[in-house]
Amino acid sequence: MFAPELINYKMMLTSNIWWKGTKLRSGKGIALLDELFSILEMIKPMDDKKGIWFKVERGCADDSWSYDEMLKEGSVKDREDFKAMFLSCYPDKEYWFPLQILEYRGYRAVFLQYQCILEFEEQEERACQSGKARDDAEIMLEFLIDKARECITLLRDGKYNDYIEKNLPLKYRHGYIETKYFYAAYPAAKENMLDGLRDDEIKEFNAVISRGDWKEDRIGRLSGMSASLYFDVVSACYEAIGGRFKRLSSSKETYMRFADGRDNNLAGIDENSEEAYAKWHEETHDGHAWEIISGHTDTMLHLYTIKDDGGWYFAVSGTLRIMETVRTFLTVRRLGYPVTIYAPDRILKACLAEDKFEIVPEGVLPFGTSTLADGEFVMHSINLDEEYESNKIIMDNIKWYELEKVFLKEK
Q: What is the pLDDT of residues 289-312, one digit of tens each?
A: 999 999 988 899 999 999 999 999
CB contact set of 4 (below 8 Å; sequence gap of 6+): 58, 59, 63, 64, 65, 86, 89, 90
* pLDDT higher than 50, residue 390: yes
pLDDT of residue 127: 47
User: What's the mean pLDDT in 104-125?
Assistant: 86
pLDDT tens digits for range 46-55: 777 789 999 9
pLDDT of residue 123: 64
99 and 115 in contact (C-beta within 8 Å)?
A: no
396 and 32 in contact (C-beta within 8 Å)?
A: no
Distance CA 77, CA 71 (A): 6
CB contact set of 46 (below 8 Å; sequence gap of 6+): 404, 406
The DSSP output letter for 78 is S
Q: How far is CA 293 from the centre of its chain?
A: 20
pLDDT tens digits for range 259-297: 999 999 999 999 999 999 999 999 987 789 999 999 988
**Most distant CA pair in the chain, distance:** 78
283 and 289 in contact (C-beta within 8 Å)?
A: no
pLDDT of residue 45: 82
The DSSP output letter for 218 is G
pLDDT tens digits for range 147-176: 999 999 999 999 999 999 999 999 999 999
Cα torsion angle, 111, 115, 118, 121, sign: positive
Predicted TM-score (pTM) of the model is: 0.86
Percent of all residues in the chain with a pLDDT value above 70, rounded to a whole number: 96
Write out the E strands in 224-334: 291-293, 301-308, 311-318
Helices (H), 41-76: 61-64, 67-73
Pairing relationship of beta strands 175-178 and 399-400 according to DSSP bridges: antiparallel
112 and 102 in contact (C-beta within 8 Å)?
A: no
Percent of all residues in the chain with a pLDDT value above 90, rounded to a whole number: 85
pLDDT tens digits for range 166-218: 999 999 999 999 999 999 999 999 999 999 999 999 999 999 999 999 999 99
Pairing relationship of beta strands 339-341 and 311-318 according to DSSP bridges: parallel
pLDDT tens digits for range 311-335: 999 999 999 999 999 999 999 999 9
* pLDDT higher than 60, residue 129: no
* pLDDT higher than 50, residue 128: no
Q: Specify the higher pLDDT residue, 67 or 26.
A: 67
Distance CA 387, CA 409 (A): 41
pLDDT of residue 130: 47
Three-state DSSP at 300 gives coil
pLDDT of residue 20: 79
Domain boundaries, the chain: 3-58+93-168, 182-351
Round the average pLDDT of the chain to a whole number and report it: 93
pLDDT tens digits for range 348-379: 999 999 999 999 999 998 988 999 989 999 99
DSSP lists the bridge partners of residue 400 as 175
- Span of 17-21, 82-86, 134-138 with lowest mean pLDDT: 17-21
Cα torsion angle, 78, 79, 82, 83, sign: negative
